[in-house]
Chain A
Amino acid sequence: MLVVSLAPAADVAKYAADLGAETLVPPVLVFARLTIQEASRRRLLLALLVLTLLVVGFSAWGFHKITTVTRSDGTLLPPTQVTLITSQLLIVVTFMYSGVLALSAAVVAGPLISSEVESGLLLSMLARPVRRSEVVIGKWLGLAVLVFVYAAGSAFLELAAVNWATGYLPPHPIELVLYVAAEGLSLLSLGLVLSTRLSGITGGVIALVAWLMAWIAGVVGDIGAGLQNSALQNVGTISHLLLPTDGLWRGAVYAMEPDVILAALRAAGTAGRANPFSAVDPPPNAFLAWVVVWFALMLTLAIWSFRTREI
């Protein structure tokens, strides 16, 4: 399995050496660059940037309002309460960002390979000395860079705006970015696997439905935890293993919860867990290790599926 996915990487050095031309870019990076270039030329990046700036602007105004709200006695909210409300609101806003990222990744990854096979775009390129694995990994890499840049860029802007408006910063901003990006990467990887065989629309829709189902299954698991029902709990656990998006989302939530919230959740016991916008513990290390394996599995599956497809 790993041999398959690592082969192109190992080829990179050999490739340059073979041709004696250090200026040549290995095909994996050519396809990655092409994917980024396409998103940029088709103005997808511009659209995301404009929309993100709009959301950041509106939310900055909204967060600022929290600090100016007066209570019935005419006084402003105390700082602890501002922090409390801000932290909860930020989780909801971040859910929107993660949703945008997940939807975009699924919609863009769905047709990534299938549409180019159908249109014939890949034919002339695959007749070059290019492995199909290089096409798959290159496209994944290109979109992965975009997902990460969007997650990091939008988080930076949003957190800067929140900090400006309320003085609040979530406790683990780096982890937040990593979890949100990984959630987008999960859907990107699933979409890519599907796009090796299914038409773009079908693959995209399946990835979206899977994302929503995983989220619901996570909620079911929470309810199971609240009710201490192991069958329901298993639904959540299995869904986290099949598609780790919800598990990663909980990691992002945990990264945004200040200590005061965590203390309150822990005090509430199992009832405090039954909520998709809360997390009492960070994702376990075993889960994070599984996520890495899951990515490797998805890429391997995509490569195998595309390699055995006749075009």
Chain B
Amino acid sequence: MAASSPAIHTVDLSKRFGSTVALTGLSMTVPRGEIFGFLGPNGAGKTTSVKLLLGLLKPTSGEAWLLGETIGDLKTRNRIGYLPELFRYQGWLDAREVLALHCELAPLERSTWKEEITKALATVGLTDRADDRVSTFSKGMQQRLGLAAALLGRPELVFLDEPTSALDPVGRHDVREIIRGLSARGTAVFLNSHLLSEVEQVCDRVAVVDHGRVIASGTMDELLSGTAVRVRVGGLDGAARTKLAGFGPLDDEGEHLTFTKLDVERVPELVSTIVALGGRIYEVAPRHQTLEDRFLQLLHEEEKS
């Protein structure tokens, strides 16, 4: 197929495990070179989606294409990189050997292995540990190694399933840089994550999934067009708080109440209502919706429906 075919295209992809619906009606398109964030709470169907796309699971219904080829196509896989959520590598090999194994299975021309491995190790910051057995690696280092394996051979599409779950803040920063670098060279990245700030900082587009369904999707700008209002308040009991339901979805953190989608024009009304309910206001801060605001709003709406 033409190189212009999207990196990922799915139509009504669904997966059931017995009577459990893991994913239902996933339809989406991820263009080449885009960083696509797949967001959702734990158990929403994110990993299932990745496994379906990689052909590790068979869909119950629906269709999907990666780089223009039907999912499960063997040859397409040498253009794809994958860092699983459950990452584990041969403890009895050293880091360089693990990467050589992946070069061999990819398969890459043997003459390119050395350079590919050296480059991948440098990218993830494991050059110093290249000749150490993987069994001596920390969880974070193993995740870096998995990322290195996913980068081998300049893939056109990379799946990263919770790529920073074992990493410290520096590691997370590094991963964001790596993802941006991939996108810059034209590689599409499918980023599975429940870390909203991570997604917000790197992704071009996002789909939010919950209970196996995509509940919202779009570019960051489309998704985060609204305003959120954060209020620091005292003296409001539970009953009073429920009376604030008219102001939209509320993230109640005790002293701090965040109205995750509220027009700025309604702020004076909100303030007078809180005061009328006996609340004491210390601070009111309208702001652009963050992904977290939007995410909580979406989950809230999803729960109500």
**Contact-residue bracket for chain A:** 20 to 34
B87 in contact (CB, < 8 A): yes
Q: Is the CB of B105 within 8 A of A120?
A: no
Q: Which of B77, B83, B93 contacts A128 (CB 8 A)?
A: B77
Compute how far the CA of A131 lies from the CA of B77 in the bound complex, rounded to whole angstroms.
11
Q: Is the CB of A125 within 8 A of B105?
A: yes
> Knowing A25-B104, A30-B104 touch, does A127 contact B88 (C-beta < 8 A)?
no
B89 in contact (CB, < 8 A): yes
CB distance from A62 to the nearest CB of B (A): 37
Q: Which of A21, A24, A30 contacts B101 (CB 8 A)?
A: A30
Q: Is the CB of B87 within 8 A of A129?
A: no
Stretch of B52-60, B192-200, B269-277, B287-295 with 4 or more beta carbons under 8 angstroms from chain A = B52-60
Q: Is the CB of A311 within 8 A of B56?
A: yes
Q: Is the CB of B78 within 8 A of A129?
A: yes
Compute how far the CA of A92 lies from the CA of B271 in the bound complex, rounded to whole angstroms.
92
Stretch of A34-42, A176-184, A190-198, A268-276 with 4 or more beta carbons under 8 angstroms from chain B = A34-42
B84 in contact (CB, < 8 A): yes
> Closest residue to A41 on the B side, CB-wise?
B92
Residues of B within 8 Å of A30, CB to CB, are: 101, 104-105
Q: Which of A101-128 contact B (CB under 8 A)?
A: 119-121, 123-128
Q: Which of A17-34 contact B (CB under 8 A)?
A: 19, 21, 23-25, 27, 30, 34
Compute how far the CA of A128 lies from the CA of B80 in the bound complex, rounded to whole angstroms.
8
> Knowing A34-B101, A120-B84, A120-B87 touch, does A127 contact B92 (C-beta < 8 A)?
no
Compute how far the CA of A311 lies from the CA of B109 in the bound complex, rounded to whole angstroms.
29
Q: Is the CB of A124 within 8 A of B92?
A: no
B102 in contact (CB, < 8 A): yes
Compute how far the CA of A251 lies from the CA of B290 in the bound complex, rounded to whole angstroms.
75
CB distance from A74 to the nearest CB of B (A): 58
- Point out which of A25, A34, A119, A128 has the most chain B C-beta atoms below 10 A from its C-beta: A128
Q: Is the CB of A129 within 8 A of B86?
A: no
Q: Is the CB of B92 within 8 A of A130?
A: no
> Closest residue to A27 on the B side, CB-wise?
B105
Q: Which of B17, B75, B86, B106 contacts A123 (CB 8 A)?
A: B86
Compute how far the CA of A224 lies from the CA of B77 in the bound complex, rounded to whole angstroms.
57
Q: Is the CB of A120 within 8 A of B54?
A: no
Residues of B within 8 Å of A126, CB to CB, are: 56
B146 in contact (CB, < 8 A): yes
Q: Is the CB of A24 within 8 A of B54?
A: no
CB distance from B93 to the nearest CB of A (A): 8
CB distance from A303 to the nearest CB of B (A): 15
A310 in contact (CB, < 8 A): yes
> Knowing A34-B101, A131-B74, A310-B58 touch, does A121 contact B106 (C-beta < 8 A)?
no
Compute how far the CA of A119 lies from the CA of B56 in the bound complex, rounded to whole angstroms.
15
Taking A123-B82, A125-B102 as given, write out 11 further A-B residue pairs in contact, using a Cβ cutoff of 8 Å, ordered by the A residue number: A19-B109, A21-B107, A24-B109, A24-B110, A30-B104, A38-B92, A120-B84, A120-B88, A121-B88, A127-B56, A130-B74
**17 A-B pairs with C-beta separation under 8 A:** A24-B107, A30-B101, A38-B90, A42-B92, A121-B89, A123-B82, A123-B86, A125-B102, A125-B105, A126-B56, A127-B55, A127-B56, A129-B77, A129-B105, A310-B17, A311-B51, A311-B56
